Structure 1
Amino acid sequence: MWRAKQLWRKVCIETSVELQLLMEKWRLLLAGIIFQYIHGLAARGVHYLHRPGPTLQDLGFMILPELGKERGYISESLFTFIFLSFVVWTFHPFVYHSKRFYTVLLWLRVLAFLVASQVLRIITFYSTQLPGPNYHCREGSMLARLPPPKSVTEVLLINFPRGVIYGCGDLIFSSHMIFTLVFVLTYNKYGSKRFIKFLAWVVAIVQSLLIVASRKHYTVDIVVAWYTVNLVVFFIDKKLPEMPDRSSGSQPLLPLNAKEKDGKFREDHHKLLNGKTVDAADRRQRVQVNGKHGEDANHIHSNSVVNGTVDD
């Protein structure tokens, strides 16, 4: 019962901190989410331009046997597992003690990586439309060509999710690999389990092979995604301010309000902001995220994040 109360108190305080961050950054988060729709709209639009034709010669198709329509769900199932696992992990600071980041700030970075990669993807697949290798994009399939839209509403609704699953023409480069690699790279930097980091890269490789085997993309779509997303994350990450350090010596990210200045709640709030657990028995310091030490360095980073500035 005591542990349940402590956990509930921790969740409540962590939620209050994240809500304050959300009020500061909601516009950027909303912009990133809206762009996900724009990306889907662009992919739907290129389907109207798609013209089926002979499947291009592809090294991956020569090596990997086709899974076929009946087993095409395998790659989608693995992607769903990757997506849901990452989302759950980003919210684990609400429950577990090993807090190395703020969830709102982490998703800001993730959306920045996704948007930059998706902009490049839209440019490339509109530049040249390749004949889709998937079974529903081949000559003779009723889904290979989209009839001209009857209204603007038909285009804007993008027939979700069917229009996304059975899209054609948005090939170079793979959207599934954008999400997969962004998630893996993010966990590789902010995650704490070495085995899971290794496993994540293995899963990314398996996902690449399954996409080719299911003929959802050409091999070039996967190859381009691997080096493009890695480069995008590398350069964007250099431009963004470092995540605040939640170790015991850091300054609080946000000021306390009047309610939080009273007694035990204030003490708990300080502990959680600074990366400590509410349980007094747990005195271990949090592992630093950005490798910088000292109150001054972290205070600078914290202020830059809250104020929305970028340190070049």
Structure 2
Amino acid sequence: MSFYIGRESSKLWKRICAEITTEINLLFENWKYLLAGLVFQYIHGLAARGVHYFHRPGPTLQDVGFYLLPELGKEKSYISETLFSFIFLSFVLWTFHPFILKSKKIYTVLVWCRVLAFLCASQALRIITFYSTQLPGPNYHCREGSKLAMLPPPESVLEVLLLNFPRGVMYGCGDLIFSSHMIFSLVFVLTYQKYGTQRIIKQFAWLLAVIQSFLIVASRKHYTVDVVVAWYTVNLVVFFIDKKLPELPDRSNGGASLLLPVTNKEKDSRIKEENHKLLNGNSGDPADWRQRTQTNGKILEDGNTVHVNTTMNGA
């Protein structure tokens, strides 16, 4: 039993080391894209912080979702954040599954390059929309009478640049159309829809995205229009940008051989396979895999028969 555990642990460690080597090589090639995506996340937070200075509380706008969905209240508003945290952490863990599991279909660095591209494009559109028109926030801390509804003018540039994290992010106002929570949730679900392997998890992920939409409205964090616009905007952004980006190599179809380091044992097996093909009269090219027959020392292709002059009984 201990021998089996030790052997499996050794295999797991070798697999993790191979994945780390591969991902580091990909990171050196794509670090600029990842850095740009992370920097834009800060810019998006800076823009959301800035629009809070322009926010003016007012009467809550008429909303169909507010009439149809019961209000959760301050005590139960954590339900929406809990579900979002579950979606976020589940996706992050899934992107790192090639380091442990054998069923490898994605490369972590390449997947995050695509995810950040989707997020940046969607967030850029979001910044344009919520700076175009500032709506009175429906959230509890954004309503009239709340001290957090309006921010006093900043005393220094540093106060704005630091975003007052995390309090400034949790209690922001004015950045409504469209929902940032739905941007992340839909980008994650769409990414797993394309690169995930478990059908039941895909269906469950879409169900969670729908439930997340209702919870956002029920907790009065956004108007219904913020959620509706996010649904069709993010889907369209992902659809068009995904066509412009180069497709990921599919590791399940041998695409991993282009990026994964090759061991000496794998090299020897490939050389033996090529020699075996050559000895059988096959060059290794699929176009040259034709049926061959042999007659009197002559190799005939495609099963065609040739006439061979033979001499029998001295004739």
- Once the two structures are superposed, residues 235-292 of structure 1 have per-residue CA deviations (whole angstroms, 9 ceiling, x without a partner) of 0000000001213544733385xxx66x348679x9xxxxxxxxxxxxxxxxxxxxxx
* Counterpart-to-counterpart distance in 2, 1:36 and 1:102: 22
| Alignment correspondent of 1:27 | 32
Residue 136 (structure 1) shift? 0.3
* Counterpart-to-counterpart distance in 1, 2:166 and 2:253: 45
* Mapped pair 1:113 → 2:129: no
* Mapped pair 1:231 → 2:249: no
Select the residue among 197, 201, 208 that pairs with 1:192.
197
Residue 98 (structure 1) shift? 1.1
- Once the two structures are superposed, residues 9-56 of structure 1 have per-residue CA deviations (whole angstroms, 9 ceiling, x without a partner) of 000001100000001100110110111010000000000000000000
Residue 103 of structure 2 aligns to a residue whose secondary structure is: coil
* Counterpart-to-counterpart distance in 2, 1:45 and 1:98: 44
* Mapped pair 1:174 → 2:153: no
* Mapped pair 1:221 → 2:226: yes
Alignment length (residue pairs): 267
* Counterpart-to-counterpart distance in 2, 1:236 and 1:142: 41
| Alignment correspondent of 2:52 | 47
- When Rg is computed on C-alpha atoms for both structures, the one with the higher figure is 2
- List aligned pairs for 1:66-105, cutoff 5 A: 66-105=71-110
Residue 97 (structure 1) shift? 1.1
Select the residue among 252, 271, 274 that pairs with 2:257.
252
* Counterpart-to-counterpart distance in 1, 2:22 and 2:201: 28
* Counterpart-to-counterpart distance in 2, 1:267 and 1:177: 50
Any stretches of 5+ residues in structure 1 without a counterpart?
Answer: 271-293, 296-312
Q: What letter matches 1:236 in structure 2?
A: I
| Alignment correspondent of 1:122 | 127
Q: What letter matches 1:218 in structure 2?
A: Y
Identity %: 72
- List aligned pairs for 1:259-274, cutoff 5 A: 263-264=264-265
Q: What letter matches 2:216 in structure 1?
A: I
| Alignment correspondent of 2:216 | 211
Select the residue among 194, 199, 206 that pairs with 1:201.
206
Structure 1 length-normalised TM: 0.82
- List aligned pairs for 1:292-311, cutoff 5 A: none
| Alignment correspondent of 2:140 | 135
Q: What letter matches 1:76 in structure 2?
A: E
Any stretches of 5+ residues in structure 2 without a counterpart?
Answer: 1-5, 271-284, 287-315
Structure 2 length-normalised TM: 0.82
Q: 1:4 to 1:265 in 2, by over 3 A?
A: farther
